[in-house]
Amino acid sequence: MLSVKNLCAGYDGTPIISNLSFQVEEGKIVALLGSNGAGKTTALRSVVGKLKPSSGEILYQGKSVLNVPAHKMVELGIAMVPEGRLLFGKMSVADNLRMGAYRIKDKKRIQTRLEEIYEIFPRVKEREHQLAETLSGGEQQMVAIARGLMSQPKLLILDEPSLGLAPKLVGEMFEFIKKINQMGLTIIIVEQNATDTLQFSDYAYLINHGENVLEGTGMELLHDEKVKEIYLGIN
């Protein structure tokens, strides 16, 4: 579904990632792991058109998307749930979700999609009339993911979905991610929470200093000494 080859990108002339390559097969959960500042979010921003790479190739369903603007990516079937959730705090949960379907003009289709989302996230349904800012951190993250699903994407990209959540809620969040993957959605997840993420990822890439240094199935990386070294900061 997605092929990233020899990607180089950064900010204001400062390179963050260099020659980064990874593949995402349809229907799979693929994790990009690495410590803070490794280049994970930079890679995602490049994929969704928010950052123009200096070189490299990004193919989505076999076609280059290097020059596709970010707002057009949704039409192609790519949705990203950003780090920090970025909800509209003064709007209701239901209105936040409708914002995720802003490119869908058919109101009946939007309402049908809303009802489908509520079946996946019953707790979001319970909170539909509340202001987003009144929700707990875990509930806000569920709303953020639900909003991403409103556009009916083929590829969902999650940037640090467990950030700031209590351990109990992290497990619950990952269960929701597995559930929507089992419904046929392809997922890229960027996480610092390596141990838990590797347990349910089909494949994973370890990024260090902007480069892909290791790849394999989730279970392979879970038991790899190099993963432990990088996360412990041992060079």
Indicate whether 108 belongs to any domain. yes
Indicate whether 50 belongs to any domain. yes
- How many domains is the chain partitioned into structurally? 2
- The SS3 assignment for 172 reads helix
* Per-residue pLDDT at 235 exceeds 60: no
Summarize pLDDT for 99-127 with one digit per residue, the tens.
Answer: 887 777 778 888 888 888 888 888 888 89
Q: Lowest-pLDDT range, 4-18, 134-148, 175-189?
A: 134-148
Split at pLDDT 50, 70, 90, the class of 85 is: low
Query: How far apart, in Å, are the Cα atoms of 221 and each of 35, 139, 225?
Result: 15, 30, 8
Q: What is the CATH number of the domain that holds 67?
A: 3.40.50.300
Q: Is the same domain home to 226 and 132?
A: no
Q: Is the same domain home to 63 and 110?
A: no
Nearest by Cα to 188 from 67, 10, 48: 48
Summarize pLDDT for 149-208 with one digit per residue, the tens.
Answer: 888 899 999 998 888 788 878 888 888 899 899 989 999 999 878 888 999 999 999 998
CB 181 within 8 A of CB 164: no
- Give the pLDDT score at 37: 79
Q: Domain limits at 214? A: 1-77+155-165+185-235
Q: Is the same domain home to 124 and 198?
A: no
Indicate whether 175 belongs to any domain. no
Q: Is the same domain home to 127 and 147?
A: yes
pTM for the model stands at 0.88
